[in-house]
Amino acid sequence: MKHTKIILDENDIPKHWYNIQADLKTPLDPPLHPQTKQPITPDDLKAIFPLELIKQEVSRQRYIPIPPAVRDIYRLWRPTPLYRARRLEATLKTPAEIYYKWEGTSPPGSHKPNSAVAQAYYNRQAGKERLVTETGAGQWGSALAFSTHLFGLQCRVYMVKCSYEQKPYRRVLMETWGAEVYPSPTTLTNAGREILKKDPQTTGSLGIAISEAVEDAATHDNTNYALGSVLNHVVLHQTVIGLEMKQQFKLLGKYPDILCGCVGGGSNFSGSCFPFIQDKINKKHPDLKVISVEPLACPTLTQGDYRYDYGDSVGLTPLLKMYTLGHDFVPPAIHAGGLRYHGDSPLLSKLTKEGYMEALAYTQQEVFEAAVLFARTEGFLVAPESAHAIRAVIDYARICKQKKEKKIIVFTNSGHGHFDLAAYDAYLNKKIPNGEYKKQINTIAV
C-alpha cells in the first residue's frame, strides 16, 4: 500500500517524555551561577522556575510521566501526522524516500505548545499567577499565550523588535489569547533601558529579550519565567515528537537513514531526534545521520565556540556549556527570527561535540528557494525556520540521485508560515538579503 500520511490514534500519544540524560555516556557539564561561577543549585533557580521543572532539568530518569491534564490538552492536535513527500521526490527525481513530521497542526501553528502547555501546568500547580517570556518569530510567545490562557495565568511576552515589526499578526494572535506583548528591548526593565542607551536603533535579539523576561520574573513574587528552548526540561517536553515518529516508522516497518531539523536554541530538533539518538548511542542504529540546520547569519554550531556562556545578553542567567557566538552577539534581522539565538541547547551541543550530530548552515535566499519549491510540490507554506531543514533535505535527496541510493530522509516540519507572508513576498520580489555574519565573541573568565 502507498502511504502518503501516517496517522496515529489519540491513545497513541506518548504517556512519558524521554530524557536522554539517562543514556549519556558522561553527564552534562553543570550550569554555573552567573556571579559565583560555581555549579548552580536548585535553590538558585526557585526564583524563576517551579520545583517540578527544576527536578526535570537535572533528572537522569529515562522516562518522565506526562501529567494527565497536559496529555488531555495535547489531544487538541496530537498525535501529529507523518507525511511522505511524494511530489517533492518526483520533482527531484530522487530514489530517496522523503518524510516529514508536521507540527503545524497545533492551535499556535508550531511545535512550541508541547512545552508551553507543560510549563503553564507546572507553574499553575505551584501557585503562580503570571508567566513572562521572550519570543523571536512569535511561535513560542503564541504557544505560551495559548497555554497560560487555558490554565488561567497572566502572560507577558518580550518579542524581539525586528520580529515584532516583521510579523504583526503573531502579536495579534498572542493578544487574542490575552497576553501583553512588547517589542524588546523595552523601557520596562533595567536590562532593556541599558541596551537602548547603548544602541537606540537596535533590532533586538533573543538574548536581550531573555534578559528582560528574567528580570521581570525575578522582581515579581507572583511571576515565573518560561523558556521556549535550550534548557533540558524544554527539550524533554518536545520528545513527544520523536516518540510519535518512532511509532509511525514502526508501522511502516522502516527506519530513517538521515534525520534533519532546523536549530536555533534546539527545542524542536532535540525533541525529534533524541529518541532516535538513543538508538545511536546504544549502537542499535549506529549509522543514523543526524543533521542540525542553521542560518549562515547566526551559525552557532558551525562557527561558534564550545564553551561556557550566558544564556542572555546582560548576564542574568546561569552560564551554560554550549556552542555560542557570544552572549552579546546580535544577528542580522533575518526572517527566521526563531533561529536568531547566540547559543544552543547544552544537550544538543554536547551530542554535536561528541559526534552524534552534525550541522549545516545556509543563506536566507537558499532557504526560501527550498521553501517555495516545497510549497509548489507539497502544498504547505512553512515557517522560515522550518525551511532550513527542507534545504538540507533537498540537497541530500540530490546526492541520493547522483549516487543512486534509496535512503530514507526525514525532517521535522516545525511550523506553518501563515504569518510570514511578508518574508515570502520579499523573496518572490527579489528583495531578500542573505544576511551577513560578523564574529563578535567575548570570552568569559570562569
The overall average pLDDT reported for the chain is 93
Structure confidence at residue 261 as a pLDDT band (50, 70, 90): very high
Structure confidence at residue 313 as a pLDDT band (50, 70, 90): confident
SS3 348: helix
422-443 burial: b if 16+ Cβ within 10 Å, else e: ebbebbeeeebebbebeeebee
Which of 167-176, 198-207, 241-250 shows the lowest mean pLDDT across its residues? Answer: 198-207
CB contact at 8 A, 138 and 171: yes
What does the pLDDT average to over 223-244? Answer: 96
Residue 340 is placed in which grid cell?
536568531
Write the pLDDT tens digit of every residue in 86-145. 999 999 999 999 999 999 999 999 999 999 999 999 999 999 999 999 998 789 999 999
- How many degrees, rounded to 5, is the angle at CA 15 between CA 13 and CA 20? 105
CB contact at 8 A, 191 and 314: yes
Write the pLDDT tens digit of every residue in 331-353. 887 777 778 889 999 999 999 99
**Domains of the chain, with CATH numbers?**
36-50+112-230 (3.40.50.1100), 68-109+233-428 (3.40.50.1100)
CB contact at 8 A, 325 and 304: yes
- Nearest in space to 234 (alpha carbons), one of 359, 99, 341, 389: 341
What does the pLDDT average to over 170-175? Answer: 95
pLDDT at 311: 87
Does 436 have pLDDT greater than 70?
no
